Structure 1
Amino acid sequence: MEQVKKNIDVAMGRIKADLVLKNARFINVFTQEVDRGDIAIVAGIIIGIGEYSGNLEINCSDLYVAPGFIDAHVHIESSMIMPKQFGEVVIKKGITTIIADPHEIANVEGIEGVKAMIESSKEAPIDIFFMLPSCVPATKFEDSGYVLNAEDLKELIDNNCVLGLGEVMDVPSVVNKDDELLKKIDMAKNKHIDGHCPSISPSGLNACISCGIKTDHECNNVKDALLKVSRGMYVMLREGSAAKNLKAVLPSVNNRNYGRFLYCSDDRHIDDLLERGSIDNCIRLSIKQGLNPIKAFIMASYNAAKCYDLHDRGAIAPGYKADLVIFEELKGLNILKVIKNGKEYKELPDKKRSKLNIKSSMHMEFIKSEIFKVESRTPTVNVIKLIPNSLETKLVQRKTANVDGYIKRIIDKDVLKIAVFERHHNTGKHFTSFIEGLGLKNCSIAQTIAHDSHNVIVVGDNEKDMEVAVNTLISIGGGIAMVSEGKVIAQLILPIGGIMTFEAPYMVAENLKRLSRMARAFGVRPEYDPFISLSFMTLPVIPEVKITARGLFDYNKFRFINSDVE
């Protein structure tokens, strides 16, 4: 009651506010205008707009103020750092709230991995909400470390930081009424349910929406986005490190429907976060592509808050959280200060290092190079063809040159061997195939970042380098390894599930950039992120063909191409 009385006195101008942003030009998400006035803040809440004085004042006469940005869908694990460190990076980019889906760590460490992410998030300088992983594994055809069913998830569904059920990737299981997946959807029926619906049919889309799925971040063209919006979905414009759909989908946004669009980063490496940003990057790109700047800021804040019923944020008005971004240049978005919970964010030295009881997540035997041999049964072979700046691929057939019943090479094409090894339960499952377009030469790259089951994936142009790369990962406990001429030339150790580390973000970024430069030097083409592109080759819920430890998977037919595999 006393706080309410103080708020009223400040709003009426009787006493000073805790903080006042003086003479600010601010984004009004309700009128789609830039308004001007003092922004008075008390106890982390905006109390008034007008003329105010404060115990602390920041002169904003030549500056703009926007609501704090919201990343509507992000896998923190893709940054390779824990939630606390992630928050310390993105708050400087104007992001004050994120909705995270921890299905990467859940595939490796199960429900305990999710709990560890929630615990780490409590120390972050931003608000981190979670969507519980709906598909662990992504499909029944995969080999993950854990399987999470509805009973497992019920333990956390009522947690205050849990907003609902994460992206439902297994669309065929929805339309075919799979009981276990429908139990998860029913569990979250009073909360939020995210979707993952690439290349979905209109009837399939209707089925998903009728189950309560309300968002999608897999649109890659205007027609798809407009259909989903017309059916009542929220569509996220995604700009990740590998999947960059913003420019292709942005023309869908118009004066009538812009309230149904929001931004997300989905999967973004730490070096991209530090150098290019996150949602701030989406805003700049959208404005550069011709979107009205006010709409861009609304999509980055208020729309996301509405989508997830976060009614206390996303606007600059009395009663809303004082999560604010102070910046120069409406179109350039040069961020000067970030206000979180009514206080200017100032980075402090990290005196306390988070710790987990970490055990190696590598449960597989060392391999020999002979394991990569592929028998020659026909004069052609199936090949995964990369698509520039996309997570999607094409299935193509290429002629082979064969020796002693085995494929020696693919004729006249930029084709490498690619293989996946199950690493969670020492089953010995593995499969070798071919990939076209990456450009890598005289080198092998292996990593334990392989969505979503995070088995070992390796690519290379000679079997000995591939052997050494895989065995290096087993020795170091997971991460990324690069090998040339039989020698390890670079590595990044990721001890937390083989996908994350406690190391400082800038150190991780520098190591990753060093690996990226080396990958480019060995021929990886500029249109592909060498590590993220590789990591998505194992995700069978994205068209058109992917590779798992069991074989090549055809998304369109939703079964393995070598039909004897189950």
Structure 2
Amino acid sequence: MSPETLPSWPDAAPDLIAIAAGRAPAETVIRGGRVVLVHTREVLDWQVAIARGRFAYVGPDASHCIGPETEVVEADGRYLIPGLCDAHMHVESGMLTPAEFAAAVIPHGTTTMFTDPHEIANVLGLGGVRLMHDEARGLPCSMFVQMPSCAPSAPGLETTGREIGPEDVAEAMTWPGIVGLGEMMNFPGVAAGDPKMLAEMAATARVGKIIGGHYASPDLGPAFHAYAAGGPADDHEGTCEADAVARVRQGMRSMMRLGSAWYDVEAQITAVTEKGLDPRNFILCTDDCMAGTLVRDGHMDRVLRHAIATGCDPLVALQMATLNTATHFGLERELGSIAPGRRADLILTSSLTELPIERVAALGQWVARDGEMTVPCPHIDWPEPARATVNMARDLTAADFDIPAPEGANEVRARVIGVVENQAPTKALSRDLPVRDGRVQGDALTGGDTCQIALVERHRATGAVTNAFVAGFGYDRPVAMASTVAHDSHHMIVVGTCRDHMARAANRLRALGGGVTLFAEGEERATVPLPIAGLMSDSPAAEVAAQAEALMQAMRDAGCTLNNAYMQHSLLALVVIPELRISDMGLVDVTKFELTDLIET
């Protein structure tokens, strides 16, 4: 069963009614378990009957639904909980295709995902979104797609491979798997009444679909209120209780994320656990999870355990990962609960706090058991244009990474991007940096923590390289890491302490056709090939996770101590999250949304 073959509720209703009434047998009956009803936060010794991918009967005794061919499953006292929903995430952040991402997370109990493929949109445009949509439609789970809204994310401050406009949004709204508009990252544009942003939101609202939010500013004054008035229905960029409270007070849903590098649940969930606000308006999500996190730690089950560990009632936390999400997207009658007519997505688990994911059903069929998939996740045939996206004019040399100093200077005051561990925002720092041979130098090899950072244009083969400085990685030897994942424009981003290593890493990715690589002390230490759009691999998650872990170890070996430092690396070009970022146009002051000089005067 897949979303393409799942019958609609009206089409399935005659059969479901007949089964619930005892006139026809169910395909599957599960008995002997404890059913968690998220609508009422009750746990009852009930039974369920399933047919045509949906729940037909949920009640105290399903014996009247059993026929000669019915599969009867004994739950042996385990809990039946709804399949988990990820309300906001990006498949590409896992370095995996939709099929391989699904294969990685379904065994962890995630049966529904709401994904915004704006990463591939920046590289391949509407055609790339369609490829993601089409692969998602054939999976044995529910993967809904939000049409990306902002490519580029900040017009005038970056150049993307492709652009998305209102006409693209209007076309995508006609596709069967599109559930709404992806995160509206251009929050200054919305607050200023930008016609393009308003047209995209209008095209979404006219067909009754949800507009995703992204308000990445601490300013909760008139600009925030103007943004809320524009129509975004949720936001996942909050980092503290005040952020969560401000959003729900404006009628938005607060999406609290726990990704590979974003730890924002604990600081915000106190709005429910301590302040006592209505939990129906709070939702759990991941946003960005790398393959290593998925394979090693889990997906939405990890978020749910974390929310419970912070003091949230397990049944309230479960609502935040199931029913609240379904309700938000207008799909409460379709999924998010164990109730008649809904998609038969459920988990068998022996604990509501530890959440061992022992067996998983999605769309009415058993899809995973004891951490392993039991059905395939079909792939589409990814075309060659999606695999040939690293378009550099030439190989680079160390000279491409030179930062000229003002004439006669022995030292300069430079603006430096400051990495903040476990959070998406950066800090705008100022550092006094040395000058040698007329070039400004980082100080990471002389006792400091300032490296060079460069953005290498890779969409139109212009040969352009933008250079700046970044602090926080802790590298203490000749090293460079390059990645064609550089949210959101996805040029090539290179961070290093040695210009020669930076050139070698960039050239390696040019030859490879995309990915991530780290060179240290003259040698290639680790590489993750990402042949699809320079963002994703179609290899299994475990294989990609092993490559990614080798990369993380190589970063640690080079002196980096940040948690999930690769994610921090890849977001340094995200010019819609304060305070300071790099783009192909220069250094961007995201507090003002304008380009700024690298060298302070």
Regarding TM over 0.5, the answer is yes
Is 2:477 the partner of 1:459? no
Aligned mates of 1:408, 1:218 — CA distance in 2: 34
Q: 1:134 to 1:3 in 2, by over 3 A?
A: closer
CA displacement at 1:544 relative to structure 2: 0.7
In 1, the alpha carbon distance for the partners of 2:459 and 2:280 equals 43
CA contact (8 A) 1:354 1:502 kept: no
Residue of structure 1 in register with 2:108 after alignment: 93
Work out which of the residue numbers 266, 276, 283 in structure 1 matches 2:297. 276
> Residue 3 of structure 2 corresponds to which residue in structure 1?
none
Could you report, residue by residue, the CA deviation over 1:70-112 in whole angstroms, capped at 9, with x for unpaired residues?
Answer: 1101110111111112112111111111111010001001111
Q: Deviations over 1:426-452 (max 9, x none)?
A: 223321111111012332110100000
**CA 1:429 to 1:63, structure 2 compared with 1: closer, same or farther past 3 Å?**
same
Name which of structure 1's ranges 151-160 and 320-329 shifts more when overlaid on structure 2.
151-160
Which among 234, 242, 257 is matched to residue 261 of structure 2?
Answer: 242
Distance change >3 Å, CA 152–CA 353, structure 1 → 2: closer
Matched, 1:50 2:55: no
CA 1:351/1:265 → structure 2, altered by over 3 Å: closer, same or farther?
closer
1:134 matched residue in structure 2? 149
Q: CA offset at residue 2 of structure 1?
A: 9.9
Q: After the TM superposition, which residues 166-177 of structure 1 pair with which residues of structure 2 at under 5 Å, given as runs?
A: 166-177=182-193
1:429 counterpart residue number: 464
CA contact (8 A) 1:108 1:144 kept: yes
| Native 8 Å contact 2:191 2:224 kept in 1 | no
Matches within 5 A, 1:246-395: 246-254=265-273, 255-310=276-331, 311-346=333-368, 347-348=373-374, 354-359=380-385, 360-364=388-392, 365-377=394-406, 379-395=412-428
Q: Percent identity?
A: 32
Q: Deviations over 1:364-415 (max 9, x none)?
A: 1211101212122363111111111111111111112222332234375211
Q: Deviations over 1:207-250 (max 9, x none)?
A: 22222211000000001110111111001110111222111111
**Alpha-carbon offset, residue 119 of structure 1:** 1.4
Task: State the distance in 2 between where 1:228 and 1:202 align.
Answer: 12
Please report how far the alpha carbon of residue 299 of structure 1 lies from its aligned counterpart in structure 2 after TM superposition: 0.7
What is the distance in 2 between the residues matched to 1:4 and 1:188? 29
| Aligned mate of 1:521, from 545, 550, 557 | 557
| Aligned equivalents of 1:440, 1:252: Cα separation in 2 | 38
1:487: Cα distance to partner? 2.8
Structure 1's 3 and 444: CA in aligned 2 closer, same or farther, altered over 3 A? Answer: closer
| Displacement of 1:6 | 4.3
How far apart are 1:42 and its partner, in Å? 2.2
Q: Is the 8 A contact 1:402 1:409 kept in 2?
A: no
Residues in 1 aligned to 2:539 and 2:189: alpha-carbon distance in whole angstroms: 39
Aligned to 1:74: 89
Deviation at 1:350, TM superposition (A): 5.4
TM-score by length of 1: 0.96
> 2:6: which partner in 1?
none
User: Is 1:197 aligned to residue 212 of structure 2?
Assistant: no
Comparing 124-133 with 347-356, greater Cα deviation is found at 347-356
Cα distance between partner residues in 1 of 2:312 and 2:375: 38
What is the alpha-carbon distance in structure 2 between the residues aligned to residue 126 and residue 349 of structure 1? 11
Whether the 8 Å contact between 1:16 and 1:52 is mirrored in structure 2 is no
Matched residue of 2:46: which SS?
strand
How many pairs align? 563
Q: Which of 18, 22, 31 is residue 22 of structure 1 equivalent to? A: 31
Shift of the 437–51 alpha-carbon distance from structure 1 to 2, 3 Å rule, reads same
Amino acid aligned to 1:344: W
SS of 1:187's partner is: helix
C-alpha displacement of 1:200: 3.8
2:577 paired with 1:542: yes
Deviations 1:456-515 (A, max 9, x none): 111111111111001111111110111123332221211111111211221111111111
Alpha-carbon distance in 2 for matches of 1:498, 1:8: 49
- Structure 2: how far apart are the matches of 1:145 and 1:135? 13
Give yes or no for contact 2:456–2:463 (8 Å, CA) kept in 1: yes
Amino acid of the residue matched to residue 571 of structure 2? F
Tell me the SS of whatever aligns to 2:127.
helix
Q: Which residue of 1 aligns with 2:245?
A: 226
Q: TM-score scaled by structure 2?
A: 0.90
Residue 384 of structure 2: SS of its match in structure 1?
coil
The structural deviation recorded for 1:12 is 3.1
Q: Distance in 2 between matches of 1:2 and 1:335?
A: 31
**1:324 partner amino acid:** L
CA distance in 1, matches of 2:377, 2:181: 35
Q: For 2:242 and 2:248, how far apart are their aligned partners in 1?
A: 10
Q: Structure 1 residues 27, 371: CA separation in 2 closer, same or farther (over 3 Å shift)?
A: same
- 1:470 corresponds to: 506
Determine which of 193, 218, 226 is the counterpart of 1:207.
226
On the 8 A contact 2:282/2:320 being kept in 1, the answer is yes
CA 78–4 in structure 1, closer or farther in 2 if over 3 Å, else same: closer
2:179 aligns to what SS in structure 1? strand
Find the aligned partners of 2:43 and 2:112 in 1 and give their Cα distance: 23
Deviation track 1:21-74 (CA, whole Å, cap 9, x = no partner) reads 103212111221212211122222222212113321111232011111111011
Which of 543, 560, 566 is the matching residue for 1:507?
A: 543
Match of 1:419 in 2: 454
Residue range with higher mean Cα deviation, 14-23 or 455-464: 14-23
The whole-number CA distance in structure 1 between the counterparts of 2:283 and 2:314 is 14
